[in-house]
Amino acid sequence: MNTEVELPTIMTDSDFSATSNEDTVSALEAADSAAPQFVRWFREVAPYVHAFRGKTFVVAFGGELVQANALNALVQDLSLLSALGIRLVLVHGSRPQVNEQLSLKGFKQQFGRGMQPTDDAALECAKEAAGEIRLDIEAAFSQGLPNTPMSHAQIRVISGNFVTARPTGVIDGVDYRHTGQVRKIDTDAMKVAIEHGSIIVLSPLGFSPTGEAFNLAMEDLATSVAVALRAEKLIFLTETDGVIGADGNVDTELARLDADALLATNALDENTAFYLHYASKAVKRGVARAHMIPFSLDGVVLLEIFTHDGVGTMVVEDTLDDLRSATIDDVGAILRLIEPLESDGTLITRGRAAIERDVENFSVLEHDGVIFGCATLHYYPDEKMAEMGCLIVHNEWQGAGEGELLLRHMESRAKALGVKRLFVLTTRTAHWFMKRGFGKGGVTDLPKERQAAYNRSRNSQVFIKRL
């Protein structure tokens, strides 16, 4: 989607009195011209609203966000998500605030990335910093001033002893003292709270059954909570823009295996690698999506969730270790998938020679040596368009999202080629594609080469999706 919209300017009575008639007319004209854009954007957002209502998001941010005075803006956006029916758990960090407290009290210890021992003084500073930030968050959610995004918002914020921790102990001769690890998350109590519309706020502290407090890493806590709740999304608001690709742009989507391979190269900066490690870990353990987005960008949570490409890096379990490019050895299996649909007229007849010629354009889904899905992509570089065809999942494997997995993979392949519009021709699956963002097109919208090859006797419908 990724549509930039300039909203119409709302003017008060005093604004009108201070402007000329010409200025007023031009402002109204500007509002009229922006209205269609706003309506189109609002309609495009609707599928995301439907998809995420009732889902759980874990949103995690460090004390750096609070230090940057970005808390109020974030709370306003999270309040909007809550109003849309998204269930929220917030996990905050406090590293810079703890370091500030330590410095003020004359202690030399400073916390950085990674696990470090927490002595008695540092634990007291961690408690003070966590308490202060938690109160700031509660105060921000309690706002309700007219003519602000918080107007009419009545949000309950709940904190508590949801996290049971254990001591890290002694590792390689180092006693980590009050530094702890997550032992258990009270998911039953948390689910009751969020299902009744409350937002849970967790500080980076946990408590043992003996009543001891332990200093926890915000990133590890957020990951553990997201996994325990089977969250739809884990969102890290970070100091970095995300993973920067070879072209200098942010990689908006990474398969987990690709993220792990990238981490193994040690080519990433410390902050990016630190967050990417936890994002990959969360996805590996069952979280559907893990995001890294920059808190310096105003409205970044809304942009990441409600636009097609987002603005940061999203890690997904893309391939299930099964999705790969086809080889010449796969031609027979592809033919066996295609032939029943050719026989009943769903697909045009291709034949082995055509499949062998175009096999490099195919991707296949494989499990235990059995190919059960395929799709093909044909690129038209002059128009920056591509045709997706032969999107097939065997009957016995349908219903578990494999078709959407193939579709996302083919969209990623198309984007990598620089494709701006992806199109399909279909006679029987129009609604499936419409539900996934494709709009009705016509033969004249196709690349000229494809128009010439269009089979008018089949009268296939054209559907196009902007990437």
Domain CATH for 178 = 3.40.1160.10
Q: Render 60-113 in DSSP notation, one character per residue.
A: EE-HHHHHTT-HHHHHHHHHHHHHTT-EEEEEE--HHHHHHHHHHTT------S
Domains of the chain: total: 3
- Residue 351 has a pLDDT of 84
- Residue 62 has a pLDDT of 96
Q: CA 280, 283, 287: angle at the middle one, nearest 5?
A: 145
Q: CA 444, 449, 452: angle at the middle one, nearest 5?
A: 65
- Please indicate, yes or no, whether residues 68 and 144 belong to a single structural domain of this protein: yes
Which of 45, 60, 75 finishes a domain? 45
Q: Render 208-254 in DSSP notation, one character per residue.
A: -TTS-EEE--HHHHHHHHHHHTT-SEEEEEESS---B-TTSSB--EE
- Please indicate, yes or no, whether residues 132 and 21 belong to a single structural domain of this protein: no
Which of 277, 298, 316 finishes a domain? 316
Spatial distance between the Cα atoms of 214 and 203, rounded to a whole number of angstroms: 11
- Please indicate, yes or no, whether residues 126 and 245 belong to a single structural domain of this protein: yes
- Residue 397 has a pLDDT of 74
- Please indicate, yes or no, whether residues 53 and 41 belong to a single structural domain of this protein: no
Q: Which two tokens stand for residue 451?
A: 């128009």
- Please indicate, yes or no, whether residues 213 and 299 belong to a single structural domain of this protein: yes
Which of 272, 289, 316 finishes a domain? 316
Successive 10-residue mean pLDDT values, the chain, 467 residues: 36 40 54 75 82 95 96 94 95 96 92 90 96 95 72 85 95 94 96 94 95 96 96 96 91 90 94 96 93 97 88 79 83 91 85 91 82 93 95 79 87 93 92 93 96 92 95
CATH number, position 374: 3.40.630.30
Q: Which amino acid is at 60?
A: A
- Please indicate, yes or no, whether residues 211 and 160 belong to a single structural domain of this protein: yes
Secondary-structure breakdown of the chain: helix, strand, coil percentages, each rounded to the nearest 5? 45, 25, 35
Q: Could you say which DSSP state residue 329 is in? A: G
- Residue 45 has a pLDDT of 83
- Please indicate, yes or no, whether residues 153 and 184 belong to a single structural domain of this protein: yes
- Please indicate, yes or no, whether residues 276 and 252 belong to a single structural domain of this protein: yes
- Please indicate, yes or no, whether residues 432 and 341 belong to a single structural domain of this protein: yes
- Please indicate, yes or no, whether residues 300 and 342 belong to a single structural domain of this protein: no
The parent domain of residue 37 ranges over: 1-45
- Please indicate, yes or no, whether residues 126 and 201 belong to a single structural domain of this protein: yes
Residue 44 burial (CB < 10 Å; 0-12/13-18/19+)?
Answer: middle
Does the pTM of the predicted model rise above 0.75?
Answer: no
- Please indicate, yes or no, whether residues 134 and 278 belong to a single structural domain of this protein: yes
Spatial distance between the Cα atoms of 192 and 198, rounded to a whole number of angstroms: 9
